[in-house]
Chain A
Amino acid sequence: MSGVPAAPDGPAGRPAIVVLREAASRYGLIAVLAALPLYLAILDLTHDGDLSKLGNNIVAGLSNGAIYALIALGYTLVYGIIELINFAHGEVFMIGSFVAFGLWGTLGLGLATGPLGLVFGLLATLLITMVVCGVMNVMIEQVAYKPLRNAPKLAPLITAVGMSFILQNVGILWLGASPASVADLIHAQQDVVTVAGVTVHRADVLAIAVTIPLVLALTTFISRSRLGKAMRATAQDPDAARLMGINVNTTISLTFLLGGALAGAAGLINLLYQTSVWYFQGFEAGLIAFTAAVMGGIGNLKGAVLGGLIIGCIQQISDYRIGADWTPAVVFAYLILIMVFRPQGLIGEVTREAG
Chain B
Amino acid sequence: MTAPGAPASPAAGSGGALAATLLETDHVSKVFGGLVAVNDVSFTIPEHAIVSIIGPNGAGKTTFFNMLTGLYKPTTGRIAFGGREISHMRPDRITALGIARTFQNIRLFATMSAVENVMVGQHSRMSAGLIGSILRPPRVRREEREAREKARETLSYVGLAESVHDERAINLAYGDQRRVEIARALASDPQLLLLDEPTAGMNPQESDQLTAFMRRLRDDRKLTILLIEHDMKVVMGVSERITVLDHGEKIAEGDPLEVRANPLVVEAYLGKQG
Interface residues of A, Cβ cutoff 8 Å to B: 1-7, 10-11, 14-15, 17-18
Interface residues on B, range: 20 to 34
- Whole-angstrom distance between the Cβ of B29 and the nearest chain A Cβ: 7
Kindly state whether residue B35 has any CB partner on chain A within 8 Å: yes
B57 touches A10 (CB 8 A): no
Chain B residue at smallest Cβ distance from A348: B33
Interface residue from A1, A10, A14, A17 paired with B39 (Cβ < 8 Å): A10
Query: In the complex, what residues of A have CB within 8 A of residue B39's CB?
Result: 7, 10-11
Kindly state whether residue B76 has any CB partner on chain A within 8 Å: yes
Query: In the complex, what residues of B have CB within 8 A of residue A14's CB?
Result: 31, 33-34, 75
Interface residue from B31, B35, B40 paired with A18 (Cβ < 8 Å): B31
B75 touches A2 (CB 8 A): no
Query: In the complex, what residues of B have CB within 8 A of residue A6's CB?
Result: 34-36
Query: In the complex, what residues of A have CB within 8 A of residue B29's CB?
Result: 11, 15
- Whole-angstrom distance between the Cβ of A327 and the nearest chain B Cβ: 37
Interface centre among A2, A7, A14, A15 (most CB of B within 10 A): A2
B55-96: contact bitstring with A at CB < 8 Å (1 yes, 0 no)?
Answer: 001111011000000000001100000000000000000000
A11 touches B249 (CB 8 A): no
Contacts known (A2-B60, A4-B58, A4-B60); A15 close to B75, Cβ less than 8 A: yes
In terms of DSSP, what is the predominant structure of the interface of chain A? Answer: loop
Chain B residue at smallest Cβ distance from A5: B35
- Whole-angstrom distance between the Cβ of B214 and the nearest chain A Cβ: 25
A4 touches B247 (CB 8 A): yes
Interface residue from B37, B40, B76 paired with A2 (Cβ < 8 Å): B37
Roughly how many angstroms separate A142 CA and B10 CA in the complex, as a whole number?
64
Chain A residue at smallest Cβ distance from B249: A7
Query: In the complex, what residues of A have CB within 8 A of residue B37's CB?
Result: 2, 4
Kindly state whether residue B121 has any CB partner on chain A within 8 Å: no
- Whole-angstrom distance between the Cβ of A211 and the nearest chain B Cβ: 32
Kindly state whether residue B248 has any CB partner on chain A within 8 Å: yes
Interface residue from A3, A11, A15, A18 paired with B58 (Cβ < 8 Å): A3
- B20-55 residues at the A interface, CB under 8 angstroms: 29, 31, 33-37, 39-40
Roughly how many angstroms separate A98 CA and B35 CA in the complex, as a whole number?
49
Roughly how many angstroms separate A3 CA and B31 CA in the complex, as a whole number?
11
Roughly how many angstroms separate A17 CA and B60 CA in the complex, as a whole number?
22
Roughly how many angstroms separate A32 CA and B206 CA in the complex, as a whole number?
59
Roughly how many angstroms separate A184 CA and B35 CA in the complex, as a whole number?
56
